[in-house]
Amino acid sequence: MSQTLQAVRGMNDVLPDEAEIWETFEELVRDWLQRYGYRPLRTPVVEPTALFSRAIGEVTDIVEKEMYSFADALNGEKLTLRPEGTASCVRAAIQHKLVEGAGPQRLWYQGPMFRHERPQRGRYRQFHQIGVEALGFAGPDIDAEHIIMTAALWDDLGLEDVRLELNSLGAGEERAQHRAALVTYLEAHQDKLDEDSQRRLHANPLRILDSKNPALQDIVEAAPKLADYLGAESRAHFDGVQVLLKDAGIPYRINHRLVRGLDYYNRTVFEWVTDRLGAQGTVCGGGRYDGLVEQLGGKSLPAAGFAMGVERLLALWRESVGEMAPGELEIYVVHQGAAAQRLAFQVAEALRRDSLSVVVHCGGGSFKAQMKKADGSGALLALVIGEDEAAANEVGIKPLRLEGAQQQRVSLAALAETIENILYNDDDNDEGAGHGGV
């Protein structure tokens, strides 16, 4: 017997019970984005490798060790499965001259991202993000808008225990001054740095501040803080964000060590974090990236955005609101005999046109066996069509889950309205019969 094949490690199937919850979540998210005026953008899953190494930074975990990269078998072109969405979004905006044509853009995207990380709870090799990017906005207002809108989504979802961490990475020059001071400081402690940090000491010292190694915490804690190097404009920008957050009543903690794992950020960066999900507690992260558009070949253009991890958010949603009901099927049609089957198909199509969800039993079997399936389907009503009903152009209605609703047999003409009354208007149960039709 051949071995059964399994999904790739760290890449998950989302089975129907779970996928229905994803869909409910995605609907909510779509509504929420529309309320804030964001428009959808869809970009390819595969991009030139250079896009990510240039955007995210050569000396980052993502580019150094987590990208799924390969050479196109036909022309050798170096390609990568996208590890994030910002680079693609900026590439598309430059390529299609979105901002030049139509002015500043509020965009969003969703879809799978790929990072070759060590899989664990909340960390996968294929995971899903919903991301938001605002291109062409320079002020602190859009940074605040992003944080305020995420807080509103957590509220809509009833999420508990998510807290906001905030920092400013300043401007290039300020970071350069801070970096020089940081390197001098870290060089003085070089013998105590771990291998990763030694390697990053000159290439990307800021990332050492983000180290999770407990042995480095004292050194990191006492390191020069970027906040002490911010100039007046960066400070004013950061203050501007905080005023709007305070007005919105959103509590936050300034975390001087929050630097994010991608190199394109400047000024405001933020993360929403929870303790409810174990080690992988960051459900959303983002910030400003004023240099990225130019760095990728576009005109200089300020921008900011964020992305949330769908798997992590849904895990937290489940934690916060408890059991979730699977999607509800309204009608299951059982039938026996050739004429009954044909009628069942016609009736079901007509009811679907009335926006009802209807499953027609397939595969035959006794009425008893079919009714068992109807019950197991979770449907609210069964429609029963036997040879008698088919001959009389009638349908039996058997409520499966509705308190007080009566079993009855109705004409085709009365079916749609009777069902509607049973499902949505119990009081008028009998009045509808005789009107309308399928």
Number of amino acids touching ligand HAM (CB under 6 A): 27
Least gap, CB of 253 to ligand HAM (angstroms): 17
Looking up tokens 């397939």 gives 362
Q: Give the integer Cα–Cα distance in Å for 336 and 344.
A: 9
When the beta carbons of 305 and 432 are compared against ligand HAM, the nearer one is 305
In the list 52, 306, 317, 332, the residue contacting ligand HAM (rule: CB under 6 A) is 306
Contact between 286 and ligand HAM by CB under 6 A: the answer reads yes
> Considering the rule CB under 6 A, would residue 208 count as an interface residue with ligand HAM?
no
261 touching ligand HAM, by CB under 6 A: yes
Question: Which of 284, 301, 314, 358 is close enough to bind ligand HAM by CB under 6 A?
Answer: 284
User: Using CB under 6 A, which residues numbered 38 to 57 contact ligand HAM?
Assistant: none
Q: Which one of residues 47, 145, 263, 311 is an interface residue with ligand HAM (CB under 6 A)?
A: 311
Whole-angstrom distance, CA of residue 152 vs CA of residue 32: 9
Pick 142 or 381: Cβ nearer ligand HAM:
142
Q: Which residue in the set 129, 168, 204, 242 belongs to the binding site for ligand HAM (CB under 6 A)?
A: 129
How far apart CA 77 and CA 244 sit, in angstroms, is 46
- Interaction of residue 131 with ligand HAM, rule CB under 6 A: yes
Q: Is residue 105 a contact partner of residue 310, using CB atoms and an 8 Å limit?
A: no
Q: For the CB of residue 33, give the shortest distance to ligand HAM in the complex, in Å.
A: 14
Under rule CB under 6 A, residue 307 binds ligand HAM: yes
Shortest approach of ligand HAM to residue 397 CB, angstroms? 46
What is the Cα–Cα distance from 288 to 172, expressed in whole angstroms? 13
Question: Is residue 436 a contact partner of residue 413, using CB atoms and an 8 Å limit?
Answer: yes
Q: Evaluate whether 253 touches 165 at the Cβ level (below 8 Å).
A: yes
For ligand HAM, give the closer residue by CB, 128 or 335: 128
Rounded to an integer, what distance in angstroms lies between the CA atom of residue 295 and that of residue 167? Answer: 23
Alpha-carbon span 238 to 245, nearest angstrom: 11
SS3 392: helix
Amino acid in the structure at residue 345: F
Does residue 61 interact with ligand HAM by CB under 6 A? no
Among 241, 283, 360, 405, binds ligand HAM (CB under 6 A): 283
109, amino acid identity: Y
Tell me how long the chain is: 438
CA distance 195 to 148: 39
Where in 30-161 does DSSP place strands (E)? Answer: 39-40, 46-48, 68-71, 78-81, 105-114, 126-135
Beta strands in 72-150 (DSSP E): 78-81, 105-114, 126-135
Closer to ligand HAM by Cβ: residue 262 or 380: 262
Q: Judged by CB under 6 A, which stretch of 27-35, 127-135, 333-341, 421-429 contacts ligand HAM?
A: 127-135
Asked whether position 85 contacts ligand HAM by CB under 6 A, the answer is yes
Distance, CA of 27 to CA of 34 (rounded, Å)? 11
Backbone phi and psi for residue 268, each to the nearest 5 degrees, phi listed first: -65, 130
Q: Give residues 316-355 in contact with ligand HAM (rule: CB under 6 A).
A: none
Q: Which stretch binds ligand HAM (CB under 6 A): 82-90, 358-366, 370-378, 412-420?
A: 82-90
Q: Among 309, 332, 370, 382, which residue interacts with ligand HAM (rule: CB under 6 A)?
A: 309
Structure tokens, 73: 């078998």
Q: Where does this chain bind ligand HAM (CB under 6 A)?
A: 84-86, 115, 117, 123-124, 127, 129, 131, 133, 261-262, 282-287, 289, 305-309, 311-312
